[in-house]
DNA sequence: TTAAAAAACTAATAAGTGTTAGTTTTGTAA
DNA sequence: TTACAAAACTAACACTTATTAGTTTTTTAA
C-alpha cells in the first residue's frame, strides 16, 4: 500500500487533514509549512497534492466541519421540547464535549479562522453570527418565560461562549481533573454563580 | 523631522510597536510582513531597523508589557485589605478595562504568545502560570473563609479568565452596549449566575 | 503477466521572507 | 555655512514558501 495509510473507514485526505489540524494547533496555520506536514506523513511535500488541493483547503475543511457540527447540534436542541435551562445546559455540555473530543480542530477554528480566504471567510463569519443569534434568542426567551434572571442577553451569550472556549486552557494544564467533573462545575458556575 | 513621528512623549520604537500590535491582531503575527508594517509607517522596510532590533522583538515588547501590567495590578489587589469577593470583582474589572484600553496588544498576547522564541517563550509561560496560581490561591482562600461556595477552584479560575478574555468577541460586535454596563453584567453573571 | 491507475519521487519556479551593507538624504546645532 | 548624527533609501542576500511539471515507482485489477 501507499505510505499514507488511513486508520480505517477514512480517506487519505481526512488523515492529512487530521494531522494538519494537530500541526496548525501547535504552531499556527501560517507557521506550519507543507514540508513539515509532509514530513509528519512520511512523504515529500509535493506528494500531498495527490490527495489535497491546497493548504488553504485544509483549513477550510477543518473550519467548516466543526461549524457544521455546532450547527446541527444547536438545531436539534432548539427543536426539542425541554426547559430552556436544560437546553442551555445541553448546549454547554456539547461545547465542552466537542472541545475534548476534537480538540485540535476546535482550537484551530477558534484561532485561525481569520486565515480563511474569501469567499470562505465571509461564509464562516456569516455562519458564526447566525449561531450566536440563535443562542441570543434562546436566552431572551428564557428571560421572558422567567426561567432566567433579567440579565443582558448579549452579555450572557458572550460569557458562556467565552468560558467554554477557554477550555483550551484546561487542555494546557492537563491536571487530574476529570472531564465530567470539570463540565459539571463549569455549568454550575455559569448558571448559578460562585457567591454563597 | 523624520517620517516616523511619535504622537507625544513616546519613542519611535513605541509607535512602531503600537502599529505592529494593530497589524498582528488583524492578520496574525506570522502573516504580517515587515514590508507591510513599514508601509503603514510610510517608510521602506529596512528603515524600521534604525529603530527596532527585529520582528521578534516587537512581539516580545507587546507580550511582556501587557504581562507586566497584569502582574502589577494583581500584586496591588492582593495586598489590599478588602473582602475576597471585592478583590475578585476588582480583578475582573481590571481585565475588562485592559481589554478595552489596550485591545490590540491584549489580543495579540492571547493569540500570538506561542510565536515567542525562547528564552522569552519559557519566561512568558512561567509568568502566566504564576499569575494563575495566585488567582487560584485567592479563590481557595475565599472558599475557606466561606465567602465563596464550595466550588472547584481551578474551574472557577478557568471560567473567569476565559469569560473575560472573550471580550475580544464583544469588540467584534461593537454594538450599542456601553462598556460599564457590559462590565457590570459580566461580573454579576460570573459571581451570581443567571438562573432565577 | 500485463495494463491501468494511484501515489510517490526529483527538479524547478516564482514569489515572498527577515535582514544586512552601503549610500544618500534630512534634520540639528555650532 | 559647516559638521555631525539620525533616518531614510536602494540593492541585495540567503532562505523559505506553496505549488507545478514531468517522471518513476508502486499498487490494483484483469
Report the residue from B151, B163, B193 with minimal CB separation from A191: B193
Q: Which residue has the higher pLDDT, B196 or A98?
A: A98
Residue nearest to nucleotide D11 (CA to C1'): B46
pLDDT value for B131: 95
Range of lowest pLDDT (A42-46, A75-79, A154-158, B18-22): A154-158
Mean pLDDT in residue range A89-101? 90
**Residue A99 in 3-state DSSP?**
helix
- Residue B26 makes CB contacts below 8 A (sequence gap 6+) with A114
Residue of B nearest to A29 (CA): B30
Query: Does the structure show a pLDDT above 70 at A196?
Result: no
What are the backbone dihedrals phi and psi of residue B195, each rounded to the nearest 5 degrees, phi first? Answer: -80, 140
Q: Give A148 to chain B, closest Cα distance, Å.
A: 5
CB contact under 8 Å between A189 and B190, yes or no, is yes
Find out whether A116 and A59 touch, Cβ atoms under 8 Å: yes
Nucleotide nearest residue B43, measured CA to C1': D8
Q: What is the pLDDT along chain B (196 residues), one digit of tens a residue?
A: 577 666 655 788 999 999 999 999 999 999 999 999 999 999 999 999 999 999 999 999 999 999 999 999 999 999 999 999 899 989 989 998 898 899 999 999 999 999 999 999 999 999 999 999 999 999 999 999 988 888 888 888 888 888 888 888 777 676 667 878 888 877 887 777 656 6
**Grid coordinates of A13:** 485526505
Q: DSSP for A123-136?
A: HHHHHHHHHHHHHH
Residue of A nearest to B152 (CA): A185
CB contact under 8 Å between B195 and A194, yes or no, is no
Start-to-end CA distance of chain A, whole Å, equals: 62
| Average pLDDT for chain A | 89
Task: For CA atoms B11, B12, B14, B19, give the dihedral sign.
Answer: positive
Q: Which residues of A touch B28 (CB under 8 A)?
A: 28-30, 112, 114-115
Find out whether B135 and A143 touch, Cβ atoms under 8 Å: no
Nucleotide nearest residue B50, measured CA to C1': D7
pLDDT value for A65: 97
For strand C, which nucleotides have at least one atom less than 7 Å from a protein CB? 6-12, 16-22, 26-28
Amino acid at each position: 500500500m501507499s505510505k499514507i495509510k488511513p486508520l480505517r473507514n477514512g480517506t487519505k485526505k481526512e488523515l492529512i487533514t487530521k494531522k494538519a489540524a494537530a500541526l496548525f494547533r501547535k504552531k499556527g496555520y501560517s507557521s506550519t509549512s507543507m514540508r513539515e506536514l509532509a514530513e509528519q506523513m512520511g512523504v515529500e511535500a509535493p506528494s500531498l497534492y495527490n490527495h489535497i488541493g491546497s493548504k488553504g483547503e485544509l483549513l477550510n475543511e477543518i473550519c467548516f466541519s466543526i461549524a457544521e457540527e455546532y450547527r446541527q447540534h444547536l438545531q436539534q436542541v432548539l427543536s426539542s421540547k425541554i426547559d430552556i435551562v436544560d437546553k442551555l445546559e445541553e448546549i454547554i455540555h456539547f461545547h465542552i464535549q466537542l472541545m475534548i473530543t476534537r480538540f485540535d480542530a476546535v482550537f484551530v477554528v477558534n484561532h485561525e479562522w481569520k486565515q480563511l480566504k474569501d469567499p470562505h471567510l465571509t461564509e464562516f463569519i456569516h455562519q458564526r453570527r447566525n449561531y450566536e443569534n440563535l443562542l441570543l434568542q434562546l436566552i431572551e426567551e428564557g428571560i421572558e418565560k422567567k426561567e432566567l434572571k433579567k440579565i443582558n442577553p448579549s452579555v450572557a451569550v458572550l460569557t458562556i461562549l467565552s468560558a467554554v472556549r477557554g477550555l483550551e486552557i484546561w487542555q494546557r494544564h492537563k491536571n487530574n481533573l476529570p472531564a465530567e467533573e470539570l463540565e459539571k462545575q463549569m455549568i454550575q458556575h455559569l448558571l448559578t454563580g460562585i457567591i454563597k
